[in-house]
Amino acid sequence: MFDQERGLVAQGCRVAAARGLVDGVLGHLSLRVDDERLLVRCRSDTDTGVAFTRPADVRLVMFDGTAGAAGELDGYRVPNELPIHVETLLANPAHRAVAHLHPPAVVAADLAGITLRPIYGAYDIPGVWLARGGVPVYERAVLIRNSALGKEMVAAMRGRAVVILRGHGITSAAATVQQAVLQAISLNELARMSLRVRAAGGALRDIDDADWDDLPDLGPSLNTDAAWRHEVARLDG
């Protein structure tokens, strides 16, 4: 049941790890399958880390954290921060996938007081659109392990696709696993570039307002499909 979807979530975990957005056993992805259940990367006593996620590590669970079908949690535990996924999915029906990751450049830039802004344009069009108007920040550095904290985080997200969790990581939400992970990659690249500019002694400046009209959405065939093929190819490279 849901073999293809489990494989996609596992692949998303491996892509995120290959891009350095998670390390060790921390971080997880999910995909909503119906009104009450989601597939989520779970942990076991033989877990070797997010970079080595298998489809079998992606389990079907109810929104309350119980097994979504017989045997789904045999030998597995849901993430402590399952409320990140549940509250994000409940807040916006358009979001079917959630990536909770720990991208180091994003964490470092935020702790350094660097606000992520649209400092470049065609270098990464989807990424710069993520940053237009600023990237929201949830200012608590806590483990989001209950629904109250999950709702706080969602409120800080302000309906946006991504939110920075101060001293912690990020949450990225989208219609697909691919989009959720690609958004995280773009956000980390924006943070990495911001840190490099500041380290070189430069000042961060938003692109000109007049440039936005010439930064079009080039469509999912490039922004998602081709980009994801590249990420998967990197795994095999």
pLDDT value at residue 223: 80
pLDDT value at residue 178: 98
Strand partners, 37: 62
Please report which residue ranges of 136-176 form alpha helices under DSSP H.
Answer: 147-157
Please report which residue ranges of 70-226 form alpha helices under DSSP H.
Answer: 82-91, 104-111, 125-131, 147-157, 177-199, 220
Q: Could you give the angle at the alpha carbon of 162 between the alpha carbons of 94 and 22, nearest 5°? A: 115
Distance separating alpha carbons of residues 53 and 12, to the nearest angstrom:
9
Distances (CA, A) of 231 to 15, 101, 181, 199: 6, 16, 10, 28
73: left (phi over 0), alpha (psi -120 to 50) or beta: alpha
pLDDT value at residue 101: 98
The two three-digit tokens of residue 175, written as one number:
């219609």
Distance separating alpha carbons of residues 60 and 126, to the nearest angstrom:
31
pLDDT value at residue 217: 87
pLDDT value at residue 219: 81
Distance separating alpha carbons of residues 185 and 126, to the nearest angstrom:
11
Q: Are 31 and 95 in contact (CB under 8 A)?
A: no
Give, for all 237 residues of the chain, the pLDDT tens digit: 999 999 999 999 999 999 999 999 999 999 999 999 999 999 999 999 999 999 999 999 999 999 999 999 999 999 999 999 999 999 999 999 999 999 999 999 999 999 999 999 999 999 999 999 999 999 999 999 999 999 999 999 999 999 999 999 999 999 999 999 999 999 999 999 999 999 999 999 999 999 999 999 888 887 899 999 999 999 986
pLDDT value at residue 236: 81
Per residue in 121-149, pLDDT tens? 999 999 999 999 999 999 999 999 999 99
Residues in the chain: 237
Distance of CA 143 to the CA centre of its chain: 16
Active-site amino acid positions: 81
Q: Are 80 and 143 in contact (CB under 8 A)?
A: yes
